[in-house]
Chains A and B, each alone.
Chain A
């Protein structure tokens, strides 16, 4: 059974304080590892797709990396508008498996 585990469950940072979110996964037939951002009461918003170990993707203050068993979302100098729940998702041929998410709060 595919499993995705995220840590920490919640993270509070001061504005400008960089950190990383962790995602460990066990997936049969991984097609892609996705990161999404979700704001309260809204659907997930796509951030990145990573396909193979060693791959990195960047977007503004976010950088996602992938190893054979883990993925990391690095947040550099975060701003209050980066506050959201970040979801790590594994994709196989027939389904997406979500982690429980990391709720990030960035304080001004």
Chain B
């Protein structure tokens, strides 16, 4: 049984650019959610996908968007990057959104 894998592990982008982060969910999991974690803070919920449909969204602007694919892998896209977008981005998967969520190791995004 494989866990959640995220790519890339580290990324440096310039303000105003666009970025795509990727997540492969754990085998058998159909729910994927994304989180932004600033240094020294708890993760903040961005959005959740269940069977390819977004079924929950946190307080993030529309320039944060996502997709879930038929194999339940997922992408997080961020347009018009701002310096404050620098953070660790975490992906988590679960089956039906219950029980424990399994987290990936995250993508460290630095916007300069």
Contact with B along A87-108 (1 / 0, CB 8 A): 1000101111111110000000
Closest Cβ of chain A to B6, distance in Å, is 8
Could you tell me if B42 and A87 are in contact, using CB atoms closer than 8 angstroms? Answer: yes
B92 at the interface (CB under 8 A from A): yes
A49 at the interface (CB under 8 A from B): yes
Interface residues on A, range: 20 to 34
B70 at the interface (CB under 8 A from A): no
Give the contacting residue for B97; candidates A43, A87, A91; CB below 8 A.
A91
The main secondary structure of chain B at its interface with chain A is strand
Chain A hits for B98, CB < 8 A:
31-32, 91
Could you tell me if B106 and A42 are in contact, using CB atoms closer than 8 angstroms? Answer: yes
Count of inter-chain pairs, beta carbons less than 8 A:
64
Could you tell me if A31 and B44 are in contact, using CB atoms closer than 8 angstroms? Answer: no
Could you tell me if A98 and B33 are in contact, using CB atoms closer than 8 angstroms? Answer: no
B56 nearest in chain A by CB position: A94
- Give residues in A with beta carbon < 8 Å to B: 31-32, 34, 36, 41-46, 49, 87, 91, 93-101
Question: Could you write out 20 A-B pairs with CB less than 8 Å apart?
Answer: A34-B100, A34-B101, A36-B103, A41-B106, A43-B90, A43-B103, A46-B100, A46-B101, A46-B102, A91-B97, A91-B98, A93-B55, A93-B97, A95-B33, A95-B48, A95-B58, A96-B35, A96-B43, A96-B45, A98-B35
